[in-house]
Structure 1
Amino acid sequence: MNFLQIILPFIISLAACKQINQAKLSTDNDKIDRIRIEILDKQAKRFLTENSRIITIARGFNWAEGTLWLKDQQALLFSDVPENKIYRWSAKDGLTTWLEPSGYTGPKEKKREGSNGLLINDKNQLVICQHGDRRISLMNAPLSNPEPKFISLVDNWRNKRLNSPNDAIYHDGMLYFTDPPYGLPGQDQDPEKELGFYGVYRIGHTGAIIMVIDSLLRPNGIGFSPANEVMYVSDSDPKRAIWMKYTMGTNGNAVSGKVLYDATDLVGKVNGLPDGLKVHPTGYVFATGPGGLWIFSPEDEVVARIHIPQATANCAFDDTYTHLYIAADSTILQVTLKDGMGKQ
Structure 2
Amino acid sequence: MRKTLIHALVFSSVLASCANSTSQSNTNTNADSTKLVKEYPKMGTVEVLDPAMLAIIDSTAQVEKLADGMTWAEGPVWVNDGNFLLYSDTRQNIIYQWSEANGLQEFIKPAGFEGPGTYSEEQGTNGLLINKEGYLIACDHGNRRIAKIDLKTKKKETLVDNWQGKKFNSPNDICQHPNGDYYFTDPPYGLPGRENDTETKEIAENGVYKVNAKGEATQVISNLARPNGIVISPDGKTLFVALSDGNNPFIMAYDIKEDGLLSKGRIFFDFKKQFPAESLAADGIKMDKNGNMFAAAGDGVVVINSSGKPIGRIRSTVHTANCAFATDGYLYLTSTDQLLRVKLKN
User: What is the TM-score normalised by the length of structure 1?
Assistant: 0.84
2:69 to 48, 60, 69: 60
Q: CA deviation at 1:269?
A: 7.0
The aligned counterpart of 2:16 is: none
1:218 to 192, 204, 226: 226
The answer to whether the 8 Å contact 2:46/2:60 transfers is: no
The aligned counterpart of 1:156 is: 162
Q: What SS class does the counterpart of residue 188 from structure 1 fall into?
A: helix
How far apart in 2 are the matches of 1:187 and 1:77? Answer: 25
Change (3 A) 1:266 1:239: farther
Letter aligned with residue 126 of structure 2: N
Q: Does residue 92 in structure 1 map to residue 101 in structure 2?
A: yes
Letter aligned with residue 14 of structure 1: I
The answer to whether the 8 Å contact 1:67/1:76 transfers is: yes
Q: Structure 1, residues 100-134: CA drift from partner, whole Å, max 9, x if none?
A: 01011231344551010111122211111100111
Q: Does residue 131 in structure 1 map to residue 141 in structure 2?
A: yes
Q: What SS class does the counterpart of residue 172 from structure 2 fall into?
A: coil
User: What is the TM-score normalised by the length of structure 2?
Assistant: 0.83
The aligned counterpart of 1:14 is: 6
Letter aligned with residue 175 of structure 1: Y
CA RMSD of aligned residues (A): 2.4
Q: Does residue 236 in structure 1 map to residue 244 in structure 2?
A: yes
The aligned counterpart of 1:331 is: 338
Structure 2: runs of 5 or more not aligned? 10-40
Letter aligned with residue 73 of structure 1: G
Superposed, 1:1-40 pairs within 5 Å as 14-15=6-7, 34-40=43-49
Which protein has the larger Cα radius of gyration, Structure 1 or Structure 2? 2
Q: Does residue 118 in structure 1 map to residue 128 in structure 2?
A: yes
Q: CA deviation at 1:51?
A: 2.8
The aligned counterpart of 1:44 is: 53
The answer to whether the 8 Å contact 1:266/1:290 transfers is: no
In the alignment of these two chains, the number of paired residues is 309
Change (3 A) 1:329 1:182: same
The answer to whether the 8 Å contact 2:42/2:64 transfers is: no
1:313 to 308, 311, 321: 321
Q: What SS class does the counterpart of residue 76 from structure 2 fall into?
A: strand
The answer to whether the 8 Å contact 2:120/2:190 transfers is: no
Q: CA deviation at 1:307?
A: 2.4
Identity %: 37
The answer to whether the 8 Å contact 2:246/2:280 transfers is: no
The answer to whether the 8 Å contact 1:245/1:258 transfers is: yes
1:297 to 301, 305, 326: 305
Q: CA deviation at 1:277?
A: 1.1
The answer to whether the 8 Å contact 1:106/1:133 transfers is: no
How far apart in 2 are the matches of 1:324 and 1:33? Answer: 15
How far apart in 2 are the matches of 1:271 and 1:79? Answer: 25
Q: Structure 1, residues 32-68: CA drift from partner, whole Å, max 9, x if none?
A: 9841311111111111112323200111110000101
The answer to whether the 8 Å contact 1:291/1:308 transfers is: yes
- Please list every run of at least 4 consecutive aligned residues from structure 1 whose deviation after the TM superposition is greater than 3 angstroms: 109-112, 264-273
Q: Work out which structure has the larger RCO, using CA pairs closer than 8 Å and 6 or more positions apart in sequence.
A: 1
Which deviates further from its counterpart, 193-202 or 103-112? 103-112
